[in-house]
Structure 1
Amino acid sequence: MRIKYKMVLLILLPMLVVIGAIAAIVFVQEKQLAAQQTLVLEESLLESKRAEIMDYVSLARTSIDLLYSSGRNDEATKEQVKAILRTMNFGQDGYFFVYDTQGLCLVHPRQTELEGRQMWDKRDPTGFPVIQKLIEAAQQGGGFQRYLWIKPTSGKETDKLAYAVLLDRWGWMMGTGIYLDDVAAAKAKISQESDKRIHGVMRSLAVTAVLAILIVVACAVAVNLSEQRSADAKLTAMARRVVTSQEDERTRIARELHDGISQQLVSTKYQIELAQFQLPESDENRAAQQALEKGLDGLGDTIAEIRRISHDLRSSLLDNLGLPAALGQLANDVAAHTGLEVRVDVSRCQHKLPDTPAITLFRIAQEALTNIVKHAAARQVDLLLSSDRRSVALTITDDGRGFAPEAETYAQSGGIGLRNMRERAELEGGSLHIVSQPGHTVLLATLPLSEAG
């Protein structure tokens, strides 16, 4: 065999092996990423639906509490409660159901033929004992169950998530649920998008392989040295898109929490307060007043928790007033919840920062303060933000116990970790440096600024 053909084979075969390996790695990673995205999306959707269902059940308890807490056990009172629950519908397929603890159906407004029937042995198509498990969850203090049930608008067996509580004085199990066909649709969409990405990557790799073979055979040249730089650029762009997508999703969820659920809860609180005000003062109504007050307290705590979660996901000050104001609010929140003294100095930041470096530094500050609270046993933290036309720097200093920044175990512990904080900074062309010793730890994050910024 001539030497030139040997050279071609020596170049071509490793290249084909590499392309095949890349294709396999991309395929596996895309599948893993799709699976992770599916799990994260499903859990996020289920968590929001759990909270929504619990709110509906809480609202139903509030609606019937005046009658239930009256101490009466007569059939007329029970029929009033049933009538109230039959009229409490939400959405196209939302309703409340009631069974006694022996499985007798008492209220089912969307399948009235079930009322009065013994449903203890009712099982869904998978064999799951629906009513038994709902009663068991209710008897344990309230709980969720997932099963298949007929959806009123479609008439088909559909995945459903339900929450049940026990009205123990009457021996009733009351609950409601939400159908999860939208969750299945979202998972299917992610799977389709993943398949499209994989097919696109495979087509691109196939075209690249054919072109490379033609170039090698025709020109007998060495491997193109620019491939590595191109791959690095693609990975960097992909990482940037992932971070951008995460921030966009945080913003969307934070907005929905604040403008949607929070406002609905506030409106509900006002209605309960109005009902409390209109309830006459008397010994008979004292229990109802106390129940309303307890419900208002719980509702207030829920509203505050939703607002806290919304703020953690995306600080409104960061969007409206910029990074200096957002850091001040973050410091105040940490100080209020932990007792840690957090001092912020933004006097050296005289330039308005672009969104990307502002978000990056804010996330680094969040994670750094979280690590300090969890691990450092510090008493005081100083945040210094400074900038000029070319760069912006965030310095975080604490008087905690210190650590070894190079320790791999610490870098991988909790949150995004030190390694990922460094990657966030480097993704924007910046750097992150840490110097630590007992009683004094300094974290310095520096990012470049464009002249236009």
Structure 2
Amino acid sequence: MKKLWPEIKSRWKIILLAIVPLITAASIIAYTVRHQAIVLEQQQQEIIKETYLASKDSELKNYIALARRSIAHLYDSGRTDAAAMEEAKTILAKLDYGEDGYFFIYDYEGNSLVHARQWNLVGTNQWEIRDTNGKLVIQDLINRARHGGGFEDYVWKKPSSHNVEPKRAYVIALPKWGWMLGTGVYLDDIDRALEKVNSQVRDNINDTTFWIVFIAFLVIILIILLSLAINIRADTQLKLLAQRIVNAQEEERARIARDLHDGVMNMLAGIKFMIEAILIRLSNNDQSTSIHMTLEDLPTKLKDTLAELRRIVRDLHPIALDLGLKVAIEQLSLNMEDADIAAEFSTHGEVDQVSTEAKIALYRVAQEALNNVKQCAHSEHVSVKLEGDSKRVKLTIEDDGVGFNVNRIKRDPDRGFGIRNMQERVEAIGGKLIITSSSQGTTVTATIPCH
């Protein structure tokens, strides 16, 4: 992994660093949700089972109370004769509720006296009968009844299905007659209900897990697409910026070459020709007056040559900035007089507390803006204002020229380089450049924070 990581491109590293935590978080969330859902399922099963059994217990007690009242006129009369007991059996044998609801009676010896659904058991002794779990059903029921009555759980054949199912019975004793009276409900209904609930819960868990995974997948795809889009856009902008820098370098080199060729080289060539002429005249013994006049022009030519060289050097590197931002921009303003444009320079507050980078950026903005005024604005007057305080330094340049369409120039790759260059310089150090223009003139405002 350590060997593979450096070979991965930066864009994919960024995507992986965004996706891996998301996948991890989604996995943890999915596992937590699933685990909690299973725990809740188990708790829900217990609650449902307890509630169901409580409701069935209440029903069984009510059924036994009903059966007890149906024979109360016989049992409470004190009669113990066979006729009374037979009449009671007949009444109880006819009582039932639902498809599998019935009453049964056993005497204390385990003999079946009444069984409304399994008549074949009546008259037989069931004392030793066991259910499929080995439970002595009749003995336990009789013991429960003789000890105050209550509930007993066992398995018994269900009349409607003829299948052995879990059953819960409630029994009481009729001690005067030596009977155990009971009824019960089969619990396979609760098993089906719980299975249905479990199936629904499992479906909900699976649905929740699916949606978590699906949403995480969509987010991952979205992150990848956005990252690719951002990277493509960033790559495009970087390429354009690199191309602009290259173009700027080439343009600057071409400008220097033109300036040196058209200015300094021609001046030096003129000086060379003048010197050659002097030599020729000296060799021809011309009058000294003519030679003197020619030599007098040499200082002027050299002076002009030096001034041109200083201008070129100044454009390449603003040496005046070493004396301060105010002095450097004021010098740029004064140079406007060479183009017959009246320049007004003013300053307010402390303007030299910004960084060197900020000073260079403001100087270049002023240089570019004033050059544009010279070349394109057809302006007669320009105002240069430099303001500063503890938070920022602001440069404002206003002219009364013909103006231009700012947005169109910005979008034009062949014409808007100067504006883009100013904007990139200012924004690179956290500043802001605003250019407004109309037929009454143009205003360029550059604001750079001090820190």
If the length of structure 2 is used for normalisation, what is the TM-score?
Answer: 0.47
Q: Point out the structure with max Rg over C-alpha.
A: 2
